[in-house]
Structure 1
Amino acid sequence: MRPKLKIIPIIVGLLTIALILTSALLIKTQNVYAAKDEKYRNLDTFTQVMHLIETSYVEDVENKTMVYGAIKGMLAELDPHSTFLDPDTLKEFREETQGEFGGLGITIGLKDKILTVIAPLEDTPAFYKGILSGDQIVKIEGDSTAGLSLHDAVKRLRGKPNTDVTITIHRESTKKPFDVTITRAIIKISSVKTSMIGNTGYIRLTQFTSHLSDSVAEAIKDLDSKGADSYIIDIRNNPGGLLSEAINVSSLFIPANKIVVYTKDRQQTRQDFKSRIFSLKETEKPIIVLVNGGSASASEILTGALQDYERATIMGEKTYGKASVQSVIPLVDGSAVKLTTGKYFTPTGRGIHGIGIEPDINVEFIAPEVDENEKIVETKTVDLSKAIIDLEKDNQLKAAVDKMKELVKDAK
C-alpha cells in the first residue's frame, strides 16, 4: 500500500501542472481569437464601405480600382518609402534603362508628408537651374503635390527628353513660392570627381553607383601619385545609391572584417555587413568627410562607419536621416508592394533614421552673394571627372581645407 500512497502526490502534481498548462493555453488561444475577432471586425467595416460604394456611389467603380486604392492608402499610413506598384508600374520599376526617359536630375522624398528635394545631382538640368537640397515641390504643372505619393510624383516629373516641366518651389529663404521650368534630359552623371587642393586630394562622390569603389580606388592612386598627404571626401548632396558600394568604399578606408553597417528587421534579426579585403587600403592619412542635409542613405553609411571608427573628421551640416531597407514583394496578380522591412544602424549601434548624423564640426553653408542681374549659366563642364574648386564661394570646403592643415601638422 505504501508504494501506491507515494505515487498519489506525484499524480496530483502532474495533474496540477497539466491544469496550469491547459489554462495558459486556453488564455493564449482566447487572446489569439480576440485579436482575430478585432481584425475581422475591421475587415467587416472595410467590406461595408466597399458595398456602400458599389450600391450608392453616383458612378460605377471597378472593384480593382477600389482594392488598389485601399492598398495604397494602407501603405501611405506606414512611411514615405512603402508604396504599391500595380503591374504596369512594376514593369516600369524593373526596366532600368530600356526605353529612354527624361529626368530632372533630383532625388526626392516625403518629409513631413511634403514632397522635398533630397539632393540635386551635379551636371543635370535641375542642378543648373539652381534647385537646392531642402526645396519643397508644392506644385507640378500647377497641380498641388499634397497627398501625392512618392512614386506618382516621380512619374509626373519624368517624361520624354527635351520636354519641359514646371515645378513650384517653396524655399525657406524666400517669402513666396516660385516657378522653375526645367527641360528634361537623359541623366548622365560622373560619380567621382577629383582635384588637388595644395597637398590634399579632393574626392567628390555624387552618387553610389555600380563600380564606384573601383573609381575611388583609381582616384586615390592618381592623387597619391600627385603627392596627396590627406583626403577630403565630399558627399554633400549625395542622395545615396547601392548598399554594396557604400560598403566597398568604406572598405577602402578601414581595416578588413570590420562592421560597416548592420540591419534589423521586425523580429530584430540582425545582419552584419563587414568591410572587405582590398589590395588598396588607405587607413593612415588624415581624412575629412564633408556632409549636409542632402547626404542620405549610402552616404550616411559611409559617414557613420568612418565616424564610429574615428577614421575621419566629419564636417558640414547634419545629414538627411534615411536609413531604412525596402523590399519589393510580388503579389498574386502581378502587382507588388515596396515595403520597408528593416533599418540600418551604424557600427556602434546608432539608429539614424529620421534623425541624421551630426558632424564633428558643424559648418553652416553660407550662400555666396549673386548679382540680381546674373543668371544661371546652363553650360556643362567639359571634363565631368574634374572637380571645380572655388574656395571663395564654398565656405564649407574652405573650412575643411583649413582644418586639414591642422590635422596634417598634428600627424607629423
Structure 2
Amino acid sequence: MKLKPVLLIMATVLAVFISFSALSNPVLTAESQTENTQEYLNMFNFLFRYVQDNYVEEIDPETLYMGAIKGLFESLDDPYSVYLTKNDMRLLRNTTTGRFGGVGLIISKPDPSLELEPTPRRPYPQYVEVVSPIEGAPAYRAGIHAGDHITAVEGESTEELTLDEVVDKLKGPPGTEVKVKILRRDSISFDVTITRAIIEVPTIKQDMIGTIAYLRIVDWTPYTDDRVREAFDFFEERGYRSIIVDVRGNPGGLLDSVVDVADLFLDSGTIVSTRSRIPSENKRFTADSSTEIPETVPVIVLVDKGSASASEIFAGAMKDSGRGYLIGETTYGKGSVQWVREFGETGFKLTIARYYTPAGISVDEVGVEPDLGIPPEELSEEEQASLQQIFENNTIVSFVEENPREDPEKVDAFIDRLRNQGISLDERDIRFLVRSEYNRRMDFPPVYDLEFDKVLQRAVEMLESGEVR
C-alpha cells in the first residue's frame, strides 16, 4: 500500500495532563555549582546594570530579565526545555483543566526561537508535526495522518507560533469549525476544515483474527492495565494461540500504565530505566516473577512513526527481552521526561531525565527500530499530483456523501470515472481512500482492516506460518 511516582511521558497533546508545583525542589546545592558560577552571575549583574543605566533609551528591567531567561533555555538547544510566559502558562492551564472542545491531535513543535535546522527525523521544524490523530476524533475523521505537518491555522502560518499558541487556536467550543492547511509527503498541500468536539479516548480495542488475539492499545491511561486484563479474559474464552499488540499511532501516556502492561508479558528483568542528574529521578522498573501471559504464546508488536514515549518503552522492553517481535516503522523518538514548574506567574518546562530500554539504549531522537521494517511505499510525482487533486477537490468525500452505503459496483464505477479524468493513482490506493472515508464516518469502525493493512497482514502471516514462535 502506498499510502510510584506518576510520570507522564508523551508528545504534546490537545488534552495533556501536567502536574504543576511550586519551584521548591530540587534546590541548587553547592555541589551542583561550578567554580565559575559566581563569576558568571557577577558578570550578568554588571552587564544588566550597565545596559539599564546606559542604553540610549530607558528600558524596563523586566524586559532585560525575561530576555536573559529565554536565552538561558535557548542555549540548551532542547525543544522540550522552554521558558513559559504568563500567557504560555495560561494556555497550559486551560489545556490541562476543564472541559473544552478540540480536534483530537497529538502534535509536536520545537520552540520557534531555537531556529532548528531540518534533519531527516524532523524535516520541517518550523511547522507543527502531527504525531498521531486520536482514533475516532474529529481530526481522524477529517483524514489527518501521523507525519502530516500543519503549516497554517485559520490562514495564519504556524512558523512563528509556539506549540501552545497553536493548541489554543485549535481548541474551541464543540460544534465550531477550524480550518488548517496540511503538508503531506513533502509536496502535497491542502486545506481541511475540522469540526471541534469533546475528545474521548478509548484506551484499547480488541478482536480475534482466527486464533490470533489482536490487541490495539490506543493510549496509556490509569485504566489501560485493567482494560488489557479484561481483553485477555475475552481472548482466553475464544482460545487464542498467539498475540498481536498494536501500538501504532499511540502517542504515549502514563509510565506506571505501560510498566504494568509490560509486566503482564515479562517475568523478570528491567522494563525501563530513567537516568537523571537528580538522584530521586534515577529509577529502574522491573518485571515481577508472576507473568500473566504464558511465555509459550508468541507475540508480535506493531509500531510506526506515531508510536511515541510510553509506546516506545513497551516496544523497547518487548524487543530487548526477546519476548516480542517488532514489525513496522521506526518509532517517533521521544525518550525524555519533562517537569513543568511555576515561577511566579510564569514558569518553565525542563528535561530532567531520559529513559532507557532494558539494553541500555536511549530512544531519544532515534526511536526504536523494528525487527522487520515495512515502510510506506513512495508515490511517484505523477501519483502525488493525482493525490493532491483528489484532496483539493474533496473527491473521495463527495463520493461517500453521495453514496452513504459502500457498494462495490459503485466503487468500481467511481474508479473508472477517475481513470477517465486522468487520475493515475493505483486502484488499490483509491479503494483504500474510499474505505478509510467510510470507516471515519462510523460510530464504531472496524477494529482492524486486514484487506488494506499490509503490516498487519505480514504479522498474521508470520504467526500462522510459525515464522514467529
- Give yes or no for TM over 0.5: yes
Report the CA distance between 1:234 and its aligned residue: 0.5
Secondary structure of the corresponding residue to residue 260 of structure 2: helix
Q: Does 1:392 align with 2:451?
A: yes
Under a length normalisation based on structure 2, what TM-score does the superposition of the two structures give? Answer: 0.71
Report the CA distance between 1:96 and its aligned residue: 7.2
Report the CA distance between 1:276 and its aligned residue: 4.7
- Go from structure 1 to structure 2 and tell me whether the alpha carbon gap of 1:98 and 1:274 turns closer, same or farther (over 3 Å shift): same
Aligned position for 1:349: 360
CA distance in 2, matches of 1:373, 1:196: 25
Identical counterparts, % of pairs: 35
Secondary structure of the corresponding residue to residue 41 of structure 1: helix
Report the CA distance between 1:406 and its aligned residue: 2.8
Q: Does 1:376 align with 2:437?
A: yes
Q: Pairwise CA RMSD of aligned residues?
A: 3.0
Cα deviation code 1:252-283 (max 9, x no counterpart): 10015x31111111368731122357673443
Cα deviation code 1:49-87 (max 9, x no counterpart): 66688x638xxx865566446544543453222233445
CA distance in 1, matches of 2:54, 2:148: 41
Aligned position for 2:173: 160
CA distance in 1, matches of 2:163, 2:196: 19
Aligned position for 2:274: 263
Is 156-165 or 345-354 further displaced after alignment?
A: 156-165
Aligned position for 1:134: 147
- Go from structure 1 to structure 2 and tell me whether the alpha carbon gap of 1:349 and 1:51 turns closer, same or farther (over 3 Å shift): farther
Aligned position for 2:159: 146
Aligned position for 1:7: none
CA distance in 2, matches of 1:76, 1:51: 26
Report the CA distance between 1:163 and its aligned residue: 1.5
- Go from structure 1 to structure 2 and tell me whether the alpha carbon gap of 1:130 and 1:70 turns closer, same or farther (over 3 Å shift): farther
Q: 1:358-369 counterparts in 2 under 5 A?
A: 358-366=369-377, 369=429
CA distance in 2, matches of 1:231, 1:136: 33
Secondary structure of the corresponding residue to residue 430 of structure 2: coil
- Which of structures 1 and 2 has the larger relative contact order (alpha carbons within 8 angstroms, sep 6+)? 2
Aligned position for 1:41: 43
Report the CA distance between 1:381 and its aligned residue: 3.6
Structure 1 runs not aligned, ≥5 long: 1-30
Contact kept in structure 2, 1:289 and 1:312, CA below 8 Å: yes
Total equivalences in the alignment: 371
Cα deviation code 1:364-396 (max 9, x no counterpart): 235951269959348554447xx5322221111
Contact kept in structure 1, 2:101 and 2:171, CA below 8 Å: yes
Q: Does 1:195 align with 2:207?
A: yes
Report the CA distance between 1:221 and its aligned residue: 1.4
- Go from structure 1 to structure 2 and tell me whether the alpha carbon gap of 1:238 and 1:401 turns closer, same or farther (over 3 Å shift): same
Structure 2 runs not aligned, ≥5 long: 1-32, 110-121, 379-427
Report the CA distance between 1:88 and its aligned residue: 6.2
CA distance in 2, matches of 1:301, 1:103: 27
CA distance in 2, matches of 1:73, 1:167: 31
CA distance in 1, matches of 2:364, 2:184: 24
Contact kept in structure 1, 2:243 and 2:297, CA below 8 Å: yes
CA distance in 2, matches of 1:34, 1:210: 45
Secondary structure of the corresponding residue to residue 429 of structure 2: coil
Aligned position for 1:124: 137
Report the CA distance between 1:156 and its aligned residue: 2.0
The letter of the residue matching 1:124 is A
Cα deviation code 1:118-159 (max 9, x no counterpart): 111100111111111111111122222123222222222212
